[in-house]
């Protein structure tokens, strides 16, 4: 009798493993693609489920697993509904534990070992500070932000490596110039964790910009001086731009431009689509009409590039009456 019970227990254990074999396939498939894609996959599944709840949950989460378990148990000549439901509940518990417990464990490992212990032991902040000060002079590290592999970024998924961004500011910096022509007192360096080491790619675009912060600031100050206008220079640009607009309308459309309103913008962006200058320009926008007809409205913009010292004229708006 005891031998029969033992066989019976083994028989039901095998039946459980086979009838819930789909969960082992899901677990192995999830683990094989790696943490970044795994988290992205889970996020996608949750998102789809949320939008198709009344359709996906009854079919994919309840009906199909129950049908699969019922068919497999029938092959083992087990027909009780209670056992089928019990196996279904157990499979859900096992699947939940197998999928989410490793994530919780990795999150704990990442927070307490990679972001805490390894950052401190490898002195990555001190190394970055030393490297940045070679080209920028004294700096002060203000704060550090973390980018976890558990983080699901919209469109890009989870990062391949754990990352930190070490934010700093220049010890000697004129904050009054902040934002002028790209001038900045603050920047950051990105480091990533690979093969049990914190590494920094100083050749990356972002990190190169951080290393050259002081140099770029000097260039920004020089550029700001080039862009600066005295009242006489501004008046001269205004007058030339106005003549350019009148001449443009005459040459291109054979129209006489009657000026109604003018607006001068300093240090603005160019409207050019091709060969657009990266530096700021000055622009005169003229609103008026053509050939003394107030219904034929037109807006002309004349841009002046202080670096190349060239003008560019174009029409931004023209009424249908003016086009006729």
Q: What is the pLDDT of residues 220-270, one digit of tens each?
A: 888 778 777 888 999 999 999 999 999 999 998 888 898 999 999 988 889
CA 62 from chain centre, in angstroms, equals 37
The model's confidence at residue 6, banded by pLDDT at 50, 70 and 90, is: very low
Token reading at 65 = 């697993």
Q: Where are the alpha helices (DSSP H) in the chain?
A: 2-19, 21-32, 35-51, 53-56, 64-75, 81-109, 119-121, 124-136, 205-211, 213-227, 231-253, 320-323
Please tell me the pTM assigned to this model: 0.63
Residue 39: what pLDDT?
67
Mean pLDDT of 195-211: 94
The model's confidence at residue 101, banded by pLDDT at 50, 70 and 90, is: confident
Mean pLDDT of 289-300: 87
Residue 154: what pLDDT?
56
As to burial, measured by CB atoms within 10 angstroms (0-12 exposed, 13-18 middle, 19+ buried), residue 40 is middle
The residue with tokens 């019970």 is: 5
As to burial, measured by CB atoms within 10 angstroms (0-12 exposed, 13-18 middle, 19+ buried), residue 187 is buried
pLDDT in tens, 23-75: 777 777 777 776 666 766 777 777 787 788 777 777 777 777 878 778 877 87
- Of 152-161, 175-184, 185-194, 306-315, give the range with the top mean pLDDT: 185-194
Pick left, alpha or beta for residue 250 (phi over 0 → left; psi -120 to 50 → alpha; otherwise beta).
alpha
Q: What distance in Å separates the CA atoms of residue 216 and residue 181, rounded to the nearest whole number?
A: 10
Q: What distance in Å separates the CA atoms of residue 13 and residue 35, rounded to the nearest whole number?
A: 31
Closest CA to 206 of 220, 189, 191, 183: 189
């Amino acid at each position: 009798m005891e031998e029969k019970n033992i066989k019976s227990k083994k028989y039901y254990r095998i039946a459980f493993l086979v009838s819930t074999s789909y969960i082992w396939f899901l677990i192995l498939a999830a683990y094989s693609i790696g943490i970044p894609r795994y988290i992205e996959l889970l996020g996608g599944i949750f998102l789809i489920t949320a939008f198709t709840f009344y359709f996906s949950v009854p079919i994919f989460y309840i009906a199909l697993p129950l049908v699969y378990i019922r068919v497999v148990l029938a092959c083992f000549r087990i027909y009780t509904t209670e056992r089928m439901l019990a196996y279904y509940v157990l499979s859900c518990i096992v699947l939940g534990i197998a999928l989410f417990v490793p994530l919780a464990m990795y999150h704990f490992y990442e927070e307490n070992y990679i972001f805490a212990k390894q950052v401190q032991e490898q002195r990555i902040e001190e190394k970055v500070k030393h490297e940045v000060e070679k080209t920028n002079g004294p700096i002060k590290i203000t704060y550090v932000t973390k980018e976890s592999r558990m983080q699901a970024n919209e469109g890009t998924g989870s990062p391949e490596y754990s990352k930190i961004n070490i934010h700093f500011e220049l010890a000697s910096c004129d904050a009054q110039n902040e934002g002028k022509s790209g001038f900045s007192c603050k920047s950051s360096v990105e480091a990533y964790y690979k093969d049990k080491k914190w590494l920094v790619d100083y050749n990356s675009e972002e990190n190169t910009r951080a290393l050259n912060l002081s140099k770029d600031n000097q260039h920004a100050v020089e550029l700001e001086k080039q862009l600066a206008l005295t009242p006489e220079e501004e008046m001269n640009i205004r007058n030339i731009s106005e003549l350019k607009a009148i001449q443009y309308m005459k040459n291109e459309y054979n129209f006489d431009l009657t000026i109604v309103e003018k607006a001068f913008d300093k240090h603005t962006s160019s409207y050019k689509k091709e060969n657009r200058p990266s530096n700021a320009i000055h622009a005169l926008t003229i609103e008026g009409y053509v050939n003394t007809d107030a219904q034929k409205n037109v807006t002309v913009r004349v841009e002046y590039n202080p670096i190349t010292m060239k003008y560019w004229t174009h029409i931004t708006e023209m009424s249908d009456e003016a086009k006729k």
